[in-house]
Structure 1
Amino acid sequence: MALPFTTQIVDIALDERSYPILIGPGLLDSPAAFDRGSASGGTSALIVTNTTVGPLYADRLARVLAQRHSQVRQLALPDGEQYKTWESLNQIFDELLGHGADRKTTLYALGGGVVGDMTGFAAACYMRGVPFVQVPTTLLAQVDSSVGGKTAINHPLGKNMVGAFYQPQAVVCDLDVLKTLPPREMSAGLAEVIKYGPIADMALFEWIEAHIDALRAGDPAALAHAVRRSCEIKAHVVGQDEREAGLRAILNFGHTFGHAVEAGMGYGAWLHGEGVGAGMVMAAELSRELGLVDAAFVDRLRRLIERAGLPVRGAVIDAADNAGRYLELMRVDKKAEGGEIRFVVIDGPGSAAVRAAPDELVRQVIDRCCAA
């Protein structure tokens, strides 16, 4: 059986860990889309989803997977970033162990970034590694978190601090599922689309500026282009630096500040993309303070982020010493070295670098960029 004729494929080139990203409408109902996934020959499968996405799509996916697995089970976890925890991870292990899952059992992550990260981490750990397939249902997951093999859970002191690099067998991005995405989630996903412009592709940035209203409205053609181009950029970066030894760190533009907001406010208060939106403004302001970009570029980025429906000012997470609390949280960032915070900065439109900055300068940026 063939794939829908509208399907586009972006390949992640990682030698024996290479895999396809399938992008297009109708893929959730296409058995051929999942023939490109696990080739393990395993008879059992577990769909890991959440209580919001499961009722919409889990049965449809299960019907398709029943054509390749004799046993297909479902597990719906609580929905929300606040549930990206050991407790939720153990629910996956309990389900696997309780039903005799073996090394050839395939896990299918049906949901957004939280489900994808936890399912991938469970797959990396269970029996020291079982196959899994990403089936992202949010724009943010389709353009970023489902691609590249980063898996993790959160710790109270830091986001995504406990995890593993573990690549999926395939990523299946059905664009039709974005039709049920709430506007706030669509905007959160656009943050991860926007970030690719300043760090890698100003032509994409200009295209987003021209099509931001269509993207927010869920225009299928606009979303198809945004997802494909975002995946192409991420595939290129991951293919050169799978484990974030250098280049891949640029994909965290805005994330150092944004993760501090998420952790400081309590996971779930801000969506990840909302933190990234405000974080990109702060990172751009820091870039300007370092003499790398001009004020006009920062204003241009700020306007686009605001048009995407995202916050452009960071949250106040400590009334007594807000900048100090940010710095404390950011020292736990994975890019920090020896307690020194390293930021992804823009060293010219379409180019990024990782730099340290004096605490006092960072304090000034935070004070200027946080809401009163």
Structure 2
Amino acid sequence: MNLKKSFSGAMRLSSEEKYNPDTLVLSHSTLKSVMQANSEEIVLRKIKMSFPKYKYVVVWTKDTYELFKRGMDTYGYSMPRHRVIVFQEVLMHIASDGVNQIGFERALKQAGIEYQKNFLHYSKHDANYMYHLFCKCYKEYTRWTNQEICYLSPRSHIIHTGSCRYANRNHFLATNRAAKYVIFQGNRVCKICGCEDEWNRLQWGVSSGVKQNNRAEYLRELPLTDENMSMICNKFRLDYNIASDMVFIRTAFSGWIVYIQNDRVTKLRHENYRQRRDEALKIHKKCFEGYHKQKLPSSRFYDVVSYIKYHDEEMLKRLGDKRSRIDIILDRIREHDAENMA
């Protein structure tokens, strides 16, 4: 994401009758300077010449992109095949609650991007600020969710969590396992699961004590008391039993043993399973001879539990959910009870 080329240019109004003094003040322009600028056609032609190839177009709002595309179509300038990233909508899912939008200036403040207030709404500076904001959010969110996965539909470009009821109800739709940073590649978050707690966020400006205690950052740093470990397991809706120096965790697919020492995870074991060649579709069958050592994804209990959650969801998705109807109903009852306990 290194900056290779930049471009900015003032655009002349099509007529002086479209003069809006408030807009010109906001954009640090005068009517005289605007009317002496290049026409829309010339500016868009220069953009096409400056950027003949591109894979993504990043804009703050969808209206900005529609304005750009309409102008390119008006003058017959073809656009390379690309994906559109509406950055404000991305921030809504990675730094807000999935519903409320974040303003541009507030986003700069929360991300710690230095800016001059007088330069806001000046297109040349806004584009530069948004570039730095995009890079920083991309890096932070990639690091923040490095142990988490989602499921991406290559046809619709919609991202789902592993427990999304829409994705599970339509499991026949092809989805690919992906890291959560794919949201920065023009993919949309599912409207069904996009507001759920499993979408760990940067949590800018969270003031509620309840939400604060549910933040990944907060949970990662907690001392590993029985109460705190229970809180983390409940967040991921997992069955568990806590012993003096280990935690037994069971998912819908398998069992795990997490070894704890000095508030850090020292070892992780996963329940053995084997494949029976005479089984239809080669469905994995768990056996009870013991556990094998699993590569430790992190020394933090929160990250390990997150890894367990998404590891087994991926296995279930890959093998297909062959459980009976009564098993599914019982699992839903357990999930409902876990929600009430959380």
Shared fold, TM over 0.5: no
TM-score normalised according to structure 1 size: 0.28
Higher Rg: 2
